[in-house]
Amino acid sequence: MKVFFGQLWSFISHRFILLVVGTFFTWGVMTMGWTNSDLGYCWAALPQGDAVTNPMSILRLALPVDNQAIHAIHQYLEEMPAQLDDPTARMQPKQWSGVGNQISKAIRTFNGEASDLLSDIPTPYRPQALVRMNQINAALADLKILSEEQSKDQFVAKRTQAWNAIDLLAASMVPEHSINIPEDYQTLPQLNGRAVVVLDTSKGPITIMVDGYNAPITAGNFLDLVQREFYDELTFTREDEAYVVQAGNPEGSPSGFVDPDTGQYRSIPLEVMVKGDSEPVYGATLEELGLSLSEPVLPFSAYGTVAMGHPQGDPNGGSSQFFFHLFEPDLTPAGLNLLDGRYAVFGYVIAGQEVLAQLQHGDLLRSAKVVDISPPNAFTFRYLDWILVQRLSSLKAMV
């Protein structure tokens, strides 16, 4: 009995220490440069329950799609041994047998529901959907072979490819999905879908899935800057105790994007989609809006969560600087994340996590490229229309 109580006390002490350390880490993040130092009484805002830590699982759950086949195939790819996600862990033959069975179920579901999947996609987007469906079919076949060969690294990489194609296929099922953006923000870039962006860093490539369904302005702003090549040749400006890596700060002042067409600094509002809502909340943290107990659809619970930074004390002053949250379960345990609702998450690293782990202050972001987007018309830049109207008005005034 004494041994039992000793072990119990040791466990409780260990978890308490991790909680304290995690709190100080989070406090540190929120007091640096472009983050908000006012923690306030935020303990009441802590989400409860088990955190979903797989980025693809979070993205699947965040899709506004009601297609059972898509969710079933995604689930088959998720319900696999945790050793697959641990580079140091070994898979046993019995585990590989179970993995093979899951892939077989995914293949049967996909083949059996192929025609229904295509029928759920609007006619204009079916050519693109057929390409994605061929990608999914080929990826699932490869996964079956790799599970039989017990090739762990190749299996994990191919599973990510399959997930990407499935996610983007699902995104094409909701092309008319539109969020009622407040009038003050209508001229900002918007992404009403999903996109894949590849960052070429001096340590290797990092792939991000950007979610415009739940963060249309934040994701749209990021995509616009990527397409402008704004991020090319910028350095990573922060590595804080292996907790946060930040990028997007141009040389000189101001610390954000100045539109060359207008000469104006572009800032975007804090944007957070709450679970159960159909539209994000804008302009204030969840705590400030009295939504402390609410949970964001896109939480800070996965390694490589991507979020927009903002100046200290100004949640609506974000512009170009974004950061990667290096989530560590022991330091940010489920239900104890103080970043949720205070920063706008707009995507997750879906490949290249090992590269992200190596990034340090001063490393180079060589380029950022949009490599895929779904649906094809998901990205809109109404700001260009606004500029055109202003110029036409000026010309008429001159006449």
Nearest to 220 by CA among 179, 250, 274: 179
pLDDT digits (tens, 9 = 90+) for 215-256: 999 999 999 999 999 999 999 987 666 688 999 999 887 889
Residue 342 in tokens? 């205070």
Q: Tell me the CA distances in angstroms from 208 to 112, 115, 133, 205, 394, one per residue in order.
A: 31, 30, 21, 10, 41
Cβ atoms of 33 and 278 closer than 8 Å: no
Q: For the chain, what are the domain ranges?
A: 65-171, 183-390
| pTM, 2 dp | 0.82
Cβ atoms of 344 and 272 closer than 8 Å: yes
Nearest to 46 by CA among 292, 275, 272: 292
CATH top-level class for 65-171? mainly alpha
Nearest to 254 by CA among 266, 242, 245: 266
Q: Which CATH number fits domain 183-390: 3.30.750.24, 1.10.10.10, 2.40.100.10, 3.30.70.3450?
A: 2.40.100.10
pLDDT digits (tens, 9 = 90+) for 351-384: 999 999 999 999 999 999 999 999 888 888 754 4
Residues 6 or more apart in contact with residue 74 via CB below 8 angstroms = 56, 60, 163, 166, 167
Q: What is the C-alpha to C-alpha distance for residues 225 and 395, in angstroms, rounded to an integer?
A: 29
Cβ atoms of 119 and 78 closer than 8 Å: no
Give the per-residue pLDDT at 329. 63
The overall longest dimension of the chain from CA atoms, in Å, is 93
Q: Tell me the CA distances in angstroms from 289 to 45, 76, 218, 270, 339, one per residue in order.
A: 11, 38, 19, 12, 15
DSSP 341-392: TTBEEEEEEEE-HHHHTT--TT-EEEEEEEEEEESTT-EE-HHHHHHHHHHH
Please state the rounded mean pLDDT for residues 78-90.
91
pLDDT digits (tens, 9 = 90+) for 149-183: 999 999 999 999 999 999 999 988 875 656 888 99
Give the per-residue pLDDT at 376. 86
Give the per-residue pLDDT at 230. 97
Q: What is the C-alpha to C-alpha distance for residues 122 and 177, in angstroms, rounded to an integer?
A: 12
More confidently predicted of 334 and 160: 160
Q: Tell me the CA distances in angstroms from 260 to 12, 59, 257, one per residue in order.
A: 56, 34, 9
Q: What is the C-alpha to C-alpha distance for residues 56 and 66, in angstroms, rounded to an integer?
A: 17
Find the Cα–Cα–Cα–Cα dihedral 201, 324, 234, 308, rounded to 10°.
140
DSSP3 helix / strand / coil % (the chain, rounded to 5): 40, 15, 40
Please state the rounded mean pLDDT for residues 81-103.
94
Q: Tell me the CA distances in angstroms from 318 to 207, 271, 323, 344, one per residue in order.
A: 22, 10, 12, 9
pLDDT over threshold 90, residue 200: yes
DSSP 279: S
Residue with tokens 């090549």: 229
Q: What is the C-alpha to C-alpha distance for residues 238 and 233, in angstroms, rounded to an integer?
A: 16
Cβ atoms of 248 and 320 closer than 8 Å: yes
352 sits in the region (left: phi over 0; alpha: psi -120 to 50; else beta) called left
**Bridge partners, 369 (sequence order):** 198
Calculate the average pLDDT of the chain. 83
More confidently predicted of 50 and 216: 216
Q: What is the C-alpha to C-alpha distance for residues 339 and 287, in angstroms, rounded to an integer?
A: 11
pLDDT over threshold 90, residue 37: no
